[in-house]
Amino acid sequence: MSINIWRISTPPSIALALLLLAGCGSTVKNGMGTEMEDSIASPYSQWRNGPPTDPSFFPIGVWLQDPRNAERYQRIGINTYVGLWQGPTPDQLTSLDTAGMKVICAQNEVGLAHLDDPTIIAWMHGDEPDNAQRQADGSWGGPVPTAKIIADYETIRSNDPTRPVWLNLGQGVANDEWVGRAAAYEDYPDYIKGADIASFDVYPVVGIRKPDGEQYLWYVARGVDRLLEWADYAKPVWNVIETTRINNPDKKATPHQVRAEVWMSLIHGSLGIVYFAHEWEPKFVEAGLLADAEMSAAVAAVNHQILALAPVLNSPDVADAVEVSSSASHVPVDALVKHYRGDTYIFAVGMRLGAAQATFQVAGLEGETRLEVIDEGREIAVVDGEFIDDFAPYEVHLYRIAGD
């Protein structure tokens, strides 16, 4: 049996600070019997013009897409554009504002002229500075020095301290074999000093060119874990998810795999999901996600589920509340526990390519009750805090135990 005990990822000192900042909310008890609030101050509350602090808002973005498609993306649950090609321009900002879409964009002349524009919720600070950088002669050089990232961050922040600065790092955050990574791992904490929101991208199915590439979906969780550690658990972490072939003509992630990647990210602490929508193979399609009806529908379903659960996801993690044992030693099942309005939520996912039966032991529950498996139309008996469920490869289950 493989035992995984998932605990709150925030160190006690920071967790205490978050609780001291908590807004009003109903009081519940965690697995150790300690009372805590079911709502905390938004990690974006320190920025007057940053991402919305409403608990019903959870950032779901799309990378570098044409604003003309904003309403189509909005219909599948996306609420944030990340990056604007050669922008922002006045027309781009107008289009996004008309669609009610938020944006993270470069702090260019146009951006600085729109400091009062609520459409802009953060400033972009480059992409993948940790990778080898293309030189003027076409060769590849070293990474962007961390000192430059930090200096440019200070400039961006001095121009506008009312919005956070968002920095995206490359797949080397999670993939130790990535030949394109030029930075040393000891440099990553310094990269994160040049950001208020740290992000990264890794595309396990299409980007890890191995025959068993599907084995590596869990890299998204590994990357989130590492960024949180490098940030000393003091900054929000986001990540980017694959949805197309990108430049791999031989394969792409399935809707099932994309859903697993998203929930692995959330369960491990990601506070923002960004979808990569471009495709170059077999031909270039900028809005490749929208062009794929099956994937678009699947992403819409995941997004609408996230948004329905946003107040829960934005509530505090509950430490030491559940212990999960897996029937398959090579298939750990990771879980995240939340309390919201008296109910207990357990979000769980199989972390490797294999089936397993998971036994959950929820602290503090006595007697017999039943839990709801959200959006699956079924219930499971819980006896003295214990319940069992089956996980197909990379399967996600979301549970709700109603309070008294």
- List b or e across 194-229, with b for residues whose CB sees 16 or more CB atoms inside 10 angstroms: bbbbbbbbbbbbbbbeeeebbebbbbbbbbbbbbbe
Tell me what pLDDT residue 165 has: 98
In this structure, are residues 221 and 6 in contact, taking their beta carbons and an 8 Å threshold? no
Residue at 48 is within a domain: no
Residue 170 has pLDDT above 60, yes or no: yes
Tell me what pLDDT residue 39 has: 56
Cis peptide bond N-terminal to 282, omega within 30: yes
109's enclosing H/E stretch is helix 109-112
Residues 201, 301 within the same domain:
yes
Residue 157 has pLDDT above 70, yes or no: yes
Residue of 16 and 252 predicted with greater confidence: 252
Question: How much is the average pLDDT of 141-149?
Answer: 97
Residues 80, 36 within the same domain:
no
Residues 326, 295 within the same domain:
no
189's enclosing H/E stretch is helix 188-193
Residue at 254 is within a domain: yes
Residues 234, 379 within the same domain:
no
Which pLDDT band holds residue 214 (cuts at 50, 70, 90)?
confident
Residues 290, 331 within the same domain:
no
Residue 379 has pLDDT above 90, yes or no: yes
Residue at 46 is within a domain: no
Measured distance CA(44)–CA(59) in Å, rounded: 11
Residues 211, 334 within the same domain:
no
Residue entry with tokens 């298939």: 331
Residue at 343 is within a domain: yes
Query: pLDDT for 306-362, tens place per residue?
Result: 999 999 999 999 989 999 999 999 999 999 999 999 999 999 999 999 999 999 999
In this structure, are residues 56 and 310 in contact, taking their beta carbons and an 8 Å threshold? yes
Tell me what pLDDT residue 30 has: 36
Residue 130 has pLDDT above 80, yes or no: yes
Question: How much is the average pLDDT of 226-241?
Answer: 98
Tell me what pLDDT residue 38 has: 56
Tell me what pLDDT residue 353 has: 94
Residue at 55 is within a domain: no
Residues 275, 326 within the same domain:
no
The count of domains in the chain is: 2
Tell me what pLDDT residue 156 has: 98
Residue at 154 is within a domain: yes
Range of the domain at 262: 60-313
Residues 129, 180 within the same domain:
yes
**Given 313, 328, 354, which residue is the final one in a domain?**
313
Tell me what pLDDT residue 167 has: 98
User: Phi, psi at residue 307, to the nearest 5°?
Assistant: -65, -35
Question: How much is the average pLDDT of 144-163?
Answer: 98
Rounded percentage of the chain residues whose pLDDT exceeds 70 = 89
Residue 368: is it exposed, middle or buried by C-beta count within 10 angstroms (0-12/13-18/19+)?
A: exposed
Tell me what pLDDT residue 15 has: 39
Residues 296, 321 within the same domain:
no
The 3-state DSSP class for residue 258 equals: helix
Average pLDDT, the chain: 90
Residues 167, 27 within the same domain:
no
**Given 313, 340, 359, which residue is the final one in a domain?**
313
Which pLDDT band holds residue 41 (cuts at 50, 70, 90)?
confident
**Given 286, 313, 340, which residue is the final one in a domain?**
313
Residues 15, 64 within the same domain:
no
Task: Return the CATH number at 10.
Answer: 2.60.40.1180
Tell me what pLDDT residue 88 has: 98
CA 55 to chain centroid: 16
Task: Return the CATH number at 115.
Answer: 3.20.20.80
Residue at 195 is within a domain: yes
Residue at 325 is within a domain: yes
Reported pTM: 0.91
Residues 146, 157 within the same domain:
yes
